[in-house]
Structure 1
Amino acid sequence: MTSDRPLTRLGFLTIGLFDEHDPAGGHENTLRMIELGEQLGFDSAWVRQRHLQHGISSPVAVLAAATQRTRRIALGTAVIPLGLENPFRLAEDLATVDVLSGGRLNPGISVGRPTHFKHIGPSLYPDTADREDFTHARVDRLLHLLRGGTASTFTGTEGIETYSERIQPYSPGLAGRVWYGAAGLSSVARAAGQGLNLLTSSVVRAEEDDDFARVQASHIRRFRELHPLGERARVSQGLVVVPTDTATAEQRARYAAYAEARLPRTREPQGPGRILFSPDLVGPAAEIADRLHGDPAFRQVDEVAFALPFTFGYEDYVQILTDIAERLAPLLGWTGPAPA
């Protein structure tokens, strides 16, 4: 069985794990992985955002560094929760990094009440925690600013300084590269209505079905039904994929144990939100390719951001990325980097 949409854009996603006592080492490894991804021909590299954990807390800053160490690969965030951000300041940062990258930034965002908000609210919004709006209005504000909308009612010259009414720098095209991380039908519909691109990951809400692949496939169909671009609307799938072709025996055993420990959570919806997790795909590239070709969601996409497991070491990631690019991706129809 082959995919309905041969793979045209190959990406990977990392959490940027680091040792609390040596954060520089982990951040450097993340940058080295992005460099390696470009060397291997990956079309995109994505970083997660984690707050108060030992993963990347400032993806925009990390990607600013990556712009100076790469020339071609697209750089994405998957995703920035806007509930912890000021859209005005975030728009400035995103536009700055897009300019530094030469137009390669792909901001991935989401909205909602921040995780553990009752614990972090006093630090995050000490005076307004009970009045903050965590709805899609935050997305509207960010898009308005990225599209060059008015940010100030004052413009002109004051003394020797000049002021703009819109965010500076302004980066044309950036707003068209914004992605939304959606796990449920309402978020999918909202993203489509706003003309955004869709990031669908290894986590969905079991609203209409208890089967992960069928739920994810329904989300993709619904998104394109509602999107102004229809079937041309961009969707990226992000499953945990670990090919083992060149792995050592020790690595294969460790990868299998990792996936086995996470398997119970994939058997039924979890918690009051009925969250469904996809099983990790671990094994030889040919076996993973067969499973993906039979996946109804994968059959509807032509770009991916395969997620790297959270807790592995740098050498493990080198092996996994190399096997993805050199062994798995060609079996999925990928022929090399997409034209700029």
Structure 2
Amino acid sequence: MKKIGFLSFGHWSPSPHSQTRSAADALLQSIDLAVAAEELGADGAYFRVHHFARQLASPFPLLAAAGAKTSRIEIGTAVIDMRYENPLYMAEDAGAADLIAGGRLQLGISRGSPEQVIDGWRYFGFRPAEGETDSDMARHSAEILLDVLRGEGFARPNPRPMFPNPPGLLRLEPHSEGLRDRIWWGAGSNATAVWAAEKGMNLQSSTLKDDEDGRPFHVQQAEQIRKYREAWKAAGHAREPRISVSRSIFALTDDRDRAYFGHGNQEDDQVGFIDEKTRAIFGRSYAAEPGLLVKQLAQDEGIAEADTLLLTVPNQLGVEYNAHVIEAILTQVAPALGWR
């Protein structure tokens, strides 16, 4: 049985064709969509983080608000770019948001993707140490985050504090028990998936990855997931990991669906370069009548290997239409694939 949630990039645009014309619209509609998705029976509401863009950026106020407005659905990210994060401050924000949500936070983190500006993390006050890359910096910050989320004391207390301290070294507060096991790493390659397994993080695999052998995207993604599972088992972790994949999937059930997505423009994988050195493969989108969708998705090896499916949604089409998109998948496609 798979979990199915949505993933929103939270775009906004002043265009008259957009129903999400401001940052306030993007944030408030994100909360409303999380509430609607929970009412429809979806399992997760996930949000992407981009800096210097007309998209969702600072995740924790949104996660806390969505957590306060809902009661069951998982609230998460896919992903937070760790090149921009102070991991200790992030641990405090994450602990607070998770407590507000009652332990439902699922935090996807990663090295991030190419951004709107050159080396944007430098404007946030971060730069790699001597001999490191920005990817090294992101992984180092992730390791610090994982360490402090264990909830063990590490800071020497002031002998004359303003308020009484518990005995021993102090930890960051607020601490949310169990959050450490709900950290996911967004892996763009087989190697980083293996590294995530070794570190005890869950795995998020999106709609693109490094093109490592020229095979179709979903086949390469399935191989990535198998390598992750092998590394997890070899590391000897006590719990079972979770693995999500993202897809753009639209069931064509009415004239709106067919007008928006019924043109068959993205039925093949695409290959390109996300930077000067990295050849990437982008997975296809799915848009078809529900019966045909079931057959197509049953052949997707990446989906078959994962336990969680995140549906990327066109948030600028508004909450009502996106709720319709989610409901169509949950009611007319997912049950035939074994969901519940």
Flag whether TM exceeds 0.5 (same fold). Answer: yes
- Higher mean C-alpha deviation, range 71-80 or range 45-54: 45-54
Q: Cα–Cα, structure 1 residues 134 and 316, in superposed 2: closer, same or farther, change >3 Å?
A: same
Q: CA deviation at 1:50?
A: 1.5
Q: CA deviation at 1:152?
A: 1.6
Q: What pairs with 1:1-340 in structure 2 (closer than 5 Å)?
A: 7-19=1-13, 22-111=22-111, 115=115, 118=118, 120-125=120-125, 128=127, 134-154=137-157, 158-160=161-163, 162=165, 165-227=170-232, 228=236, 232-245=240-253, 247=254, 249-257=255-263, 260=265, 262=266, 266-270=269-273, 272-309=277-314, 311-335=316-340
Q: Distance in 2 between matches of 1:286 and 1:231?
A: 36
Q: Distance in 1 between matches of 2:285 and 2:138?
A: 31
Are the equivalent residues in 1 in contact too, given 2:267–2:286 (CA < 8 A)? Answer: no
SS in 2 for 1:141: helix
Q: Cα–Cα, structure 1 residues 288 and 89, in superposed 2: closer, same or farther, change >3 Å?
A: same
- Greater relative contact order (Cα < 8 A, sep 6+): 1
Q: CA deviation at 1:301?
A: 2.0
Residue-pair matches, total: 323
TM normalised by structure 2 equals 0.87
Q: Provide, for residues 11-40 of structure 1, a one-character-per-residue CA deviation record: whole Å limited to 9, x for no partner.
A: 111112234663222221111110011001
Are the equivalent residues in 1 in contact too, given 2:32–2:319 (CA < 8 A)? Answer: no
Q: Cα–Cα, structure 1 residues 244 and 156, in superposed 2: closer, same or farther, change >3 Å?
A: farther
Instruction: Name stretches of at least 5 consecutive residues in structure 1 with no aligned partner.
Output: 1-6, 336-340
Q: Cα–Cα, structure 1 residues 159 and 313, in superposed 2: closer, same or farther, change >3 Å?
A: closer
Q: CA deviation at 1:311?
A: 4.7
Are the equivalent residues in 1 in contact too, given 2:207–2:282 (CA < 8 A)? Answer: yes
- Higher mean C-alpha deviation, range 115-124 or range 61-70: 115-124
Q: Distance in 2 between matches of 1:34 and 1:122?
A: 33
Q: Provide, for residues 159-200 of structure 1, a one-character-per-residue CA deviation record: whole Å limited to 9, x for no partner.
A: 435476111011110000111111101110110101111111
Are the equivalent residues in 1 in contact too, given 2:251–2:289 (CA < 8 A)? Answer: yes
Q: In structure 1, give the amino acid aligned to 2:243.
A: V
1:4: which partner in 2? none
Q: In structure 2, give the amino acid aligned to 1:28.
A: L
Are the equivalent residues in 2 in contact too, given 1:122–1:129 (CA < 8 A)? Answer: no
Q: Distance in 2 between matches of 1:102 and 1:231?
A: 21
Are the equivalent residues in 1 in contact too, given 2:217–2:283 (CA < 8 A)? Answer: yes
- Higher mean C-alpha deviation, range 16-25 or range 60-69: 16-25
- Higher mean C-alpha deviation, range 106-115 or range 176-185: 106-115
Are the equivalent residues in 1 in contact too, given 2:84–2:121 (CA < 8 A)? Answer: no
Q: Distance in 1 between matches of 2:69 and 2:317?
A: 23
Q: Distance in 1 between matches of 2:74 and 2:283?
A: 26
- The RMSD of aligned alpha carbons is 2.5
Are the equivalent residues in 2 in contact too, given 1:81–1:114 (CA < 8 A)? Answer: no
SS in 1 for 2:54: coil
Q: Distance in 2 between matches of 1:306 and 1:26?
A: 18
Q: Distance in 2 between matches of 1:149 and 1:256?
A: 53
Q: CA deviation at 1:318?
A: 2.0
Q: In structure 2, give the amino acid aligned to 1:144.
A: D
Q: Cα–Cα, structure 1 residues 122 and 238, in superposed 2: closer, same or farther, change >3 Å?
A: closer
Q: CA deviation at 1:123?
A: 2.2
